[in-house]
Chains A and B, each alone.
Chain A
Amino acid sequence: MTTHYLVLSALLFAIGGVGVLVRRNAIVVFMCVELMLNACNLAFVTFARQNGNLDGQLIAFFVMIVAAAEVVIGLAIIVTIFRTRRSASVDDVSLLKY
């Protein structure tokens, strides 16, 4: 019965992974990362339901908190990059400097 949820989770994760690999826009890459995180969350919650305990739900909360913190820092970096380079392409910052 939980198989559908897991399949959905895998699909969402794969979409997110492909998005991270093929998109250049930092914002989109970022959103794809969030998609992967949420795919994981869905899997955790599904397993929690399947096993009948709260461990998976607990981990899902942790992931959300970490994701929120990550969004704060990540968006700040992206905004700074955009301000200096007038572009949000991840390929433009390949030199890891300036």
Chain B
Amino acid sequence: MEPAEIIQHSGGAIGAAWLMIALPLVGAAVLLLGGRRTDKFGHLLGVLMAVASFVVAALSFAQLLGFAPGERRRGIELYDFIPGLAKVGLLVDPLSISFCLLITFVGSLIHIYSIGYMAHDPNRRRFFAYLNLFVAAMLLLVLADNYVALFVGWEGVGLASYLLIGFWQHKPSAATAAKKAFIVNRVGDFGLLIGIFTIFATFHTLAFSDVLGNASKASSGTLTAIGLLLLVGACGKSAQLPLQSWLLDAMEGPTPVSALIHAATMVTAGVYLIVRSGPIFEGAGTAQLVVTIVGVATLLAGAIIGTAKDDIKKALAGSTMSQIGYMVLAAGIGPVGYAFAIAHLITHGFFKADMFLGAGSVMHAMNDEVDMRKYGALRKVMPVTFVTFLIGYLAIIGFPLLSGYFTKDGIIETAMEHNAILGWLAVLGAGITGFYMSRLVFMTFFGAKRWEPTAHPHESPAVMTWPLIILSIGAIGLGAFLVLGNRFMTFLAPAVGAPEEMPSFHPFSLTGLVTLALVAIGAAFAWVKYGRAEVPAVAPRASFLTTFARRDLYGDALNEALFMRPGQWLTRLAVFFDNRGVDGLVNGLAAGIGGTSGRLRRVQTGFVRSYALSIFLGAAVLAGAWLVVGNL
């Protein structure tokens, strides 16, 4: 089934969809420009704007459901930026509204949670301003109806991410991490920009409706080039190999930021880009193949990194990488995979935000300790955090009937039908997920107390636990709701297309059983190593493989050897050339002129008689010359 036509729309909640972006933007502007005067109510304003944005999104969704499925792509014209060339408008369709609901709903919950989490931070107002800025930029990214506005949102979320990773910029590690995230993202943005240029050169327009509608008319070589360039952009934003290195360091930011930006929403923008540009990828088999390979490589790399991290947030970040790898894998498969990619994205948004906020709650209780080797036995002192985290954990490992079971299993089944190698690698990834997530839960909530003497853990306040409870409800039921009966695939079909034959859900397929068995083995292995056995307080010396994983698969070392050092040599060469070459030329010229004029100056003695002599001699020479020439 092909995507539906876009219908121009005005009026109702959808007509006011721009409010979704404008409200948080106004919040950010008021909080940033208002300065300390807004300190007292800053967090409340931030929450209010996020919730208001969610209300607009929910009303738009309700209005959208009122239309027939074929009429659910509504375009809203906002502004004719360059007449005839660049119109800026919004596109409200099943795909973008799914993102809007996720962003504003999870975003609102995380805003509320942050009231408690950031309660003692003197810069809480600034934090909420940045969060609002992020929500506005992310909504612009998903609501844009052309690649330029998408790029503006894309950069906006990058900026917000930078500001929030470096929120505690007095810590050198946070400042460095923020810079790293920004620079690695620049590499991806470079690819995206060139991709957009290529799109414009090929189609002479950047509106989704014109580009994607005419994608089949371009040559497959052009489409492959565009697809690969867009993939570079997606890799940067979504921390896929080979641009994954910034995500682990990004955990320096406050935990709500990790939950909202680096787990639930921003890092999934790459998946959105691929799914939105689906017709381009569908016309370029090579690009799709590369997308699936990147997805599988990242889902394994992220899972392997997750197994070795002792820092609870970094282990979760490895898991985020891995789960986004699943989404990218599904997005590379085509229309069959799109719905699973987005469904997994949404359920992942819930259970991963739930777990990150849970980790934040644990850190809050443990004096901001992040080393899991100093946790242990927290299930009794933090019952709400424990139960909600456990639900998120069961959801992510694909425990039957919870969210992850439906969405991740859907991806694995689809991948298996598409290509058996990719499918089995995805199954293997699921097994590793079972191990590292169980390890995380056992080290944190089970076993013996390994707390620092100063730690007095306690349950977090209600303003932090309620978001956890709501998110964990999503983690339980959302997967079944979306996947059973192909509900989400049918809903999404007008926006991204759908396969001729809807896939059916088999509860006891071979792949599903093997996956479950592997997950169970992983979890059991984690129990033997970290649940039953004593966990040493200091990480023991480990084998080559473990070190490999602890060092993020040497991703940083690779970047350093391949790009940083040659780059430094290049700059040193340039500096040398500048100092010796360019400066030498300029300085030499100046010195030459100075020296010559210093010598010439001596001719000017000031003695009138010597001037007179030179006049006479000159006159004599002239007269002589005239005589000679005249006589010729």
Of the listed stretches A42-50, A51-59, A88-96, chain B binds A88-96
| A2 to B616 alpha-carbon distance, docked (Å) | 26
Q: Within 8 Å CB of B616, what residues of A?
A: 17, 21
B605 on interface, CB distance cutoff 8 Å: yes
- Size of the B side of the interface (Cβ < 8 Å), in residues, is 8
B605, B606, B607, B612: the one within 8 Å of A20 (CB): B612
Q: B-facing mask of A79-98, CB < 8 A → 1, else 0? A: 00000000000110111100
B593 on interface, CB distance cutoff 8 Å: no
Q: A-facing mask of B263-292, CB < 8 A → 1, else 0? A: 000000000000000000000000000000
A20, A95, A96: the one within 8 Å of B609 (CB): A20
A21 touching B606 by the CB < 8 A rule? Answer: no
B607 touching A94 by the CB < 8 A rule? Answer: yes
- Size of the A side of the interface (Cβ < 8 Å), in residues, is 12
B613 touching A94 by the CB < 8 A rule? Answer: no
| A24 to B607 alpha-carbon distance, docked (Å) | 10
Q: Within 8 Å CB of A93, what residues of B?
A: 606, 608
| A92 to B147 alpha-carbon distance, docked (Å) | 82
| A21 to B613 alpha-carbon distance, docked (Å) | 6
Q: Within 8 Å CB of A91, what residues of B?
A: 607-609
| A78 to B612 alpha-carbon distance, docked (Å) | 17
Q: Within 8 Å CB of B608, what residues of A?
A: 29, 90-91, 93-94
A90 touching B606 by the CB < 8 A rule? Answer: no
B606 touching A94 by the CB < 8 A rule? Answer: yes
| A93 to B606 alpha-carbon distance, docked (Å) | 8
What distance in Å separates the Cβ of B617 from its nearest Cβ neighbour in chain A?
10
Chain A CB count within 10 A is highest, among B606, B608, B613, for B608
Q: Within 8 Å CB of A21, what residues of B?
A: 609, 612-613, 616
Q: Within 8 Å CB of A17, what residues of B?
A: 616
A96 touching B606 by the CB < 8 A rule? Answer: yes
Q: A-facing mask of B592-632, CB < 8 A → 1, else 0? A: 00000000000001111100110010000000000000000
Q: Within 8 Å CB of A95, what residues of B?
A: 606
Q: Within 8 Å CB of B606, what residues of A?
A: 93-96
What distance in Å separates the Cβ of A50 from its nearest Cβ neighbour in chain B?
20
What distance in Å separates the Cβ of A9 from its nearest Cβ neighbour in chain B?
15
Interface of chain A residues 1 through 30 with chain B (CB within 8 A):
17, 20-22, 24, 29
What distance in Å separates the Cβ of B606 from its nearest Cβ neighbour in chain A?
3
What distance in Å separates the Cβ of A65 from its nearest Cβ neighbour in chain B?
23
Shortest Cβ distance from A33 into B: residue: B612
| A28 to B616 alpha-carbon distance, docked (Å) | 18
| A27 to B542 alpha-carbon distance, docked (Å) | 106
What distance in Å separates the Cβ of B615 from its nearest Cβ neighbour in chain A?
9
Shortest Cβ distance from A91 into B: residue: B607
| A15 to B613 alpha-carbon distance, docked (Å) | 14
Q: Within 8 Å CB of A94, what residues of B?
A: 605-608
What distance in Å separates the Cβ of A77 from its nearest Cβ neighbour in chain B?
12
What distance in Å separates the Cβ of A2 from its nearest Cβ neighbour in chain B?
20
Interface of chain B residues 309 through 352 with chain A (CB within 8 A):
none
Q: Within 8 Å CB of B612, what residues of A?
A: 20-21
Q: Within 8 Å CB of B613, what residues of A?
A: 21
| A22 to B616 alpha-carbon distance, docked (Å) | 13
Shortest Cβ distance from B620 into A: residue: A17
Q: Within 8 Å CB of B605, what residues of A?
A: 94
Q: Within 8 Å CB of A24, what residues of B?
A: 609
| A90 to B608 alpha-carbon distance, docked (Å) | 7
| A91 to B608 alpha-carbon distance, docked (Å) | 7
| A54 to B608 alpha-carbon distance, docked (Å) | 36
| A75 to B608 alpha-carbon distance, docked (Å) | 16
| A95 to B613 alpha-carbon distance, docked (Å) | 18
Q: Within 8 Å CB of B607, what residues of A?
A: 90-91, 94
Shortest Cβ distance from B612 into A: residue: A20
Shortest Cβ distance from B609 into A: residue: A21
What distance in Å separates the Cβ of B627 from its nearest Cβ neighbour in chain A?
15
Q: Within 8 Å CB of B609, what residues of A?
A: 20-22, 24, 29, 90-91
| A78 to B269 alpha-carbon distance, docked (Å) | 91
What distance in Å separates the Cβ of A30 from its nearest Cβ neighbour in chain B?
11
Shortest Cβ distance from B616 into A: residue: A17
What distance in Å separates the Cβ of A69 from its nearest Cβ neighbour in chain B?
20
What distance in Å separates the Cβ of B32 from its nearest Cβ neighbour in chain A?
64
What distance in Å separates the Cβ of B621 from its nearest Cβ neighbour in chain A?
15
| A24 to B610 alpha-carbon distance, docked (Å) | 11
| A29 to B612 alpha-carbon distance, docked (Å) | 11
| A98 to B45 alpha-carbon distance, docked (Å) | 78
Q: Within 8 Å CB of A20, what residues of B?
A: 609, 612
Q: A17-B616, A90-B609, A91-B607 are in contact. List 15 more A-B contacts (CB 8 A).
A: A20-B609, A20-B612, A21-B616, A29-B608, A29-B609, A91-B608, A91-B609, A93-B606, A93-B608, A94-B605, A94-B606, A94-B607, A94-B608, A95-B606, A96-B606
10 examples of A-B residue contacts, CB within 8 angstroms:
A17-B616, A20-B609, A21-B616, A29-B609, A90-B608, A91-B607, A91-B608, A94-B605, A94-B606, A95-B606
Residues of B within 8 A of A (CB): 605-609, 612-613, 616
Residues of A within 8 A of B (CB): 17, 20-22, 24, 29, 90-91, 93-96
7 nearest A-B pairs in the assembled complex, by CB-CB distance: A94-B606, A90-B608, A94-B607, A20-B612, A95-B606, A21-B613, A96-B606
